[in-house]
Amino acid sequence: MKHNYSIDFYQDKIHLHLNENLFGPSPKVMNELNLWRREDVFHYPPNDDAYLKNEVAQYWNLPPESIFTGNGGVSILRRMGNILPTSGYYFTPTWDYYKHLIEMRKGTLQALPFINNGKEFLYPTFPPISQEKANFIIICSPNNPTGQRVPRDYLEKLLEEYPNTYIIVDEVYEDFTPTDSLVPLVLKYRNLCLIRSFSKFYALAGLRIGVGLAHPDLVNQLRPYRQPFGLPLPIQKAAIIALKDDSHNQLIQSTLKASKETLLEFIRSQNIPLKPYHTDTHFLLMETQHNRSDLWKELLLKEGFAVKSCHWEGQKSYIRVTIPPMDILLKFCQALKNCLSSIT
């Protein structure tokens, strides 16, 4: 029987498959959204997102000219895609939209595989390719779905050794464990483009707020491809409130850490036949025994939880699970236990 796993199908399930932040946004953000005025609704927003650009630039100690904005990280990537050559490379396994984007432009994207050592996915041996072939490279760090970050010194070496190659680093998961962001390097390297989003750590996926960071010369190349209208001003304000709410953001990091440790200990102590990999973000990739990721997905759906089943050529099968707040996590742990009789 073939199932239709549409959003409607999942509406009565707990979403652990979309990398949403189930800890939720800052209460201060919700207060701001309650202040929408009539004119915020019937007027078109300004097309330059000046408030968001200026505030983000100040927060990251960059000039506003190095910032461009869009509807989520996807629109930042699509805008950058307008100036990319038709062939490039990306570190895999990763989010399949990167390849989809390039193929929509009739281009090709070749894989540079991470190295699976059984505990985490390590970055490819340097240099990953010859300079002559490297038109652009797309890297997600921390990576979806494997969870690990690519070390900053490795990425900086890429920027140094490939000065004529666009290096696009998707940092939408960076703020869950903020240690190695390339933001301080934006003005140093003209070939670097960073993608940031308020959908993941800041739990504003429904507001679609994306930010690109690059050298002003690169941002100028992208100006012809900007959207005709920007983000509504209340949404821009909500983004900055989320960015600057240190107490809430620290709470998210500490409670996420507690949930992750609880889940890992439960899997170990209860002999759940799943092998977790190291993660630097808010989801966990787990290898299944005997390539049973699809079975795990089906069984957990019956328990009320949607998880992501992952398969890659030449690899084993995995499930990817968003780590939820403790009250949901305890129910999920029980669901894992309930599945055991059908798995073993």
Residues 239 and 308 in one domain: no
Residues 277 and 180 in one domain: no
Read off the pLDDT of residues 103-157 as tens digits, 9 standing for 90 and up: 988 888 999 999 999 889 999 888 888 877 789 999 999 999 999 999 999 999 9
Residues 175 and 290 in one domain: no
Contacts of residue 171, defined as CB under 8 A and 6 or more positions apart, other chains included, come to: 141, 181, 182, 194, 195, 196
**pTM (two decimals):** 0.93
Q: Which long-range contacts (CB under 8 A, 24 or more apart) does 314-318 make?
A: 315/93, 315/116, 316/287, 316/288, 316/291, 317/287, 317/288, 317/291, 317/292, 317/293, 318/145, 318/277, 318/285, 318/286, 318/287, 318/288, 318/293
User: Which token pair is 17?
Assistant: 């498959």
For residue 230, the SS3 value is coil
Residues 19 and 158 in one domain: no
In this predicted structure, the answer to whether residue 32 has a pLDDT above a threshold of 70 is: yes
What is the domain extent for residue 279? 14-25+247-343
Residues 235 and 252 in one domain: no
* Residue listed under structure tokens 């309650």: 34
Contacts of residue 91, defined as CB under 8 A and 6 or more positions apart, other chains included, come to: 111, 112, 113, 114, 123, 124, 128, 137, 138, 139, 140, 143, 150
Residues 281 and 132 in one domain: no
Residues 20 and 165 in one domain: no
**Helices 326-343, 246-269: crossing angle, 10 deg rounding:** 20
Residues 21 and 140 in one domain: no
Domain boundary, last residue among 225, 244, 263: 244
CATH number, domain of 323, equals: 3.90.1150.10
Residues 189 and 117 in one domain: yes
What mean pLDDT comes out for the span 332-337?
97
Domain boundary, last residue among 244, 260, 291: 244
Structure confidence at residue 344 (pLDDT): 73
In this predicted structure, the answer to whether residue 23 has a pLDDT above a threshold of 70 is: yes
In this predicted structure, the answer to whether residue 2 has a pLDDT above a threshold of 50 is: no
Domain boundary, last residue among 228, 244, 260: 244
CATH number, domain of 109, equals: 3.40.640.10
Residues 271 and 146 in one domain: no
